[in-house]
Chain A
Amino acid sequence: MSKLIFFYYNKLRKETWFFLILPILVILSIFFFYPMFTVFKTSVYKYVFPNIVEKLTLANYSRFLLDIFYLSKVLLPTFKLSILATLTALIIGYPFAYFLSKMKNPNIRRLLFTSIILVLWVNEVIRILGWMIILSDNGIVNSFLMKIGFIRTSVHFMYNELSVFIALVQISIPYIVISLLGVFNYIDPSLGEAAKTLGANRFITFLKITIPLSIPGILAGTLIVFALNVNAFCIPLLMGGNRVSMIGVEIYKYSMEVNNLPFASAMSVILLLIILLIFYFYTSLLNKLYKGY
């Protein structure tokens, strides 16, 4: 047995690629895979306040998955907000990406593209503060509506699901625009011209040619955005007050504030599985639709 290992080890030593990927393998194994393993391990340990008892149990998982409280107050808002925000961002961002790709002036195009990217590179906390100023009870929207007499008392835009939804949409739009721009640049413009010579007006070409050809971009963009929204932690934490509960927030609360590490670990494992399922579903859908590519 040891001779076999020795043989393979010698073989590997001669391969260049082994040394090339050695650094990243080492770092990933020690600082990524092993900590993940620790989380899996902790998730099946018992939590007896305030200690972690090292007895194997699935109680953490059953507590989250079988209790209607967690399902309805955590899992449901997570999915509801993520799906809504993803679809809204898609609808809002699609025309923008389309018009941007068709724009002839390169300077304006660059300017618009850069300003969209800027949103991604500005810190999440900063964006949230901006929304707070706009949406809070004595913020811009409320003061404006009160000045024109539309409402008497301030409408609560902040610290509920609406504000989380708005912030999620804002952060989702740049990713969708980027994915769609990539696809739009790839579409052969002569297809549109061919359709025009056959008598289709602009609207029908858009419907029958542009949209179907852009589906890979739509799928890729919505995948990224949906995964990002389900993972969202900072936005619901700050913009939802204590009322909006997404799974990321619960993981943070149970690990950092309550110190119930096993339960928090179980929730993160569940979150990971959800994301993996979404990924698997998406990629199999893409493969089915585009077998030849």
Chain B
Amino acid sequence: MKSGLFFSFAKGIYFLFFLLFVLSPIIILMIVSFNPESVEFPPQGFSFRWYIEMFERHDFINAVRVSFYVAFLAALFSTVIAIPTSLALTRYHFWGRKQLNSLIVNSPILVPMVLTGLALFEFFVILGIYGTYQSLILAHIIITMPFPIRLICAELQAFNPFWEEAAAIAGATKFQSFIKITLPIIKQSIFGGYIFAFIISWNNFALSIFISSAKTITLPVQVYGYLRYEYKPLITAISTSLVFLSGLLIIIIDRFLGLESMFINKNK
């Protein structure tokens, strides 16, 4: 019994250090953001000063606007395109299906973001649309696409196509059966895919830094700019707000969709 107690104690210590290591940068950041003076810990006072300043800076507000606009539209197009693509990948057999599937699913890991950034940078410069909103949105569509596709495909594979066949026997056209049967069932993963794509686009830095121009700076690139110019306390306030937003989104998604089931297939 003694070894059991020691084991639980060691396990507790391990958990503590583990969580400390993984979460401490974020937690410290949030605490320090209320420090009225500099970025020292423990904080010397409590003030919302940096949050107020954050809202007064035009470049920050602009960057938020750009990021939101791009993420909203890019995720929208991404999810809309993901729907027919997932249908084709799961319900139909065609030449090149496996290759296309693995290409799409693996590309976010396989293809370095730097390479995509460089390629799109050269491409947009050649086309002459470098630095426009359209180019930014297009680039973000490319990088967010695999995620809704993966989610919707997973949901489509999980449910039996028997319902669609039944509808076909009852006389519905393919389009009707899609609208009335398939769509309501995959509604959840469409919504989840949209949120996923939105977050990927919103947080993206490595790609955006290649294709952002002075007029279209996204929030992460702007924060990077602040970092280089040593506006540290301001960034802590920005970061804390962003962490809050991300946390909120995660809680919402977990409530509605169940995060664990999205990432892991539970063996029943």
Contacts and interface: CB of A to CB of B under 8 A. Distances in A.
A293 to B, nearest CB: 15
B264 interface: yes
Interface stretch (B24-32, B51-59, B156-164): B24-32
Contacts of B242: 122-123, 126
B220 A15 contact: no
Prevailing SS type, chain A contact patch: helix
B267 A185 contact: yes
A180 B36 CA distance: 42
Interface in A2-56: 15-21, 23-24, 27-28, 31-32, 34-36, 38-39, 42
A158 interface: no
A31 B123 contact: yes
B48 interface: no
Given A23-B85, A118-B250, A251 B114 contact: yes
Interface in A110-134: 110, 112-119, 121-134
Given A121-B249, A170-B22, A271-B112, A20 B122 contact: no
Contact of B210 (A23, A112, A126, A256): A256
Contact of B112 (A28, A92, A188, A275): A275
Contact of A24 (B39, B121, B126, B145): B145
Q: Identify the interface centre among B114, B224, B235: most chain A CB within 10 Å of its CB.
A: B114
B26 A130 contact: yes
A31 B120 contact: yes
A248 B114 contact: yes
A129 B236 contact: yes
Given A38-B123, A110-B254, A129-B236, A123 B205 contact: yes
A20 B206 contact: no
Contacts of A112: 19
The contact size tier of chain A is 35 or more
A118 B247 contact: yes
Nearest to B11: A99
A169 B216 CA distance: 32
A187 B26 CA distance: 33
Contacts of A168: none
Nearest to B87: A20
A130 B250 contact: no
A113 B89 CA distance: 31
Interface in B72-118: 81, 84-85, 87-89, 92, 94, 100, 104, 106, 109-116, 118
A231 B110 CA distance: 9
Contacts of A130: 24-26, 28-29, 239
A28 B260 CA distance: 31
A233 B210 CA distance: 12
Nearest to B149: A24
Contact of B26 (A99, A122, A138, A233): A122
Contact of B41 (A96, A140, A174, A276): A140
Contacts of A170: 21-22, 25
A285 to B, nearest CB: 16
A34 B122 contact: no
B223 A126 contact: yes
B239 A126 contact: yes
Contact of A110 (B28, B145, B232, B260): B260
A99 B25 CA distance: 24
A13 to B, nearest CB: 14
Given A20-B92, A123-B220, A118 B119 contact: no
Nearest to B27: A130
B18 interface: yes
Given A92-B18, A130-B26, A181 B264 contact: yes
Q: Identify the interface centre among A114, A117, A133, A134: most chain B CB within 10 Å of its CB.
A: A133
23 contacts: A17-B92, A20-B87, A21-B100, A23-B84, A27-B142, A31-B123, A112-B19, A114-B254, A114-B259, A115-B22, A117-B259, A126-B223, A128-B227, A129-B235, A133-B32, A133-B236, A139-B41, A140-B41, A188-B267, A231-B112, A248-B112, A269-B115, A275-B112
Q: Which 4 pairs of residues, A with B, have the shortest CB-CB distance? A: A130-B25, A35-B119, A20-B88, A35-B123
Interface of A: 15-21, 23-24, 27-28, 31-32, 34-36, 38-39, 42, 92, 95-96, 99, 110, 112-119, 121-134, 138-140, 143, 170, 173-174, 178, 181-182, 185-186, 188, 223-224, 227-228, 230-231, 233-234, 238, 248, 251-252, 255-256, 261, 264-265, 268-269, 271-272, 275-276, 279
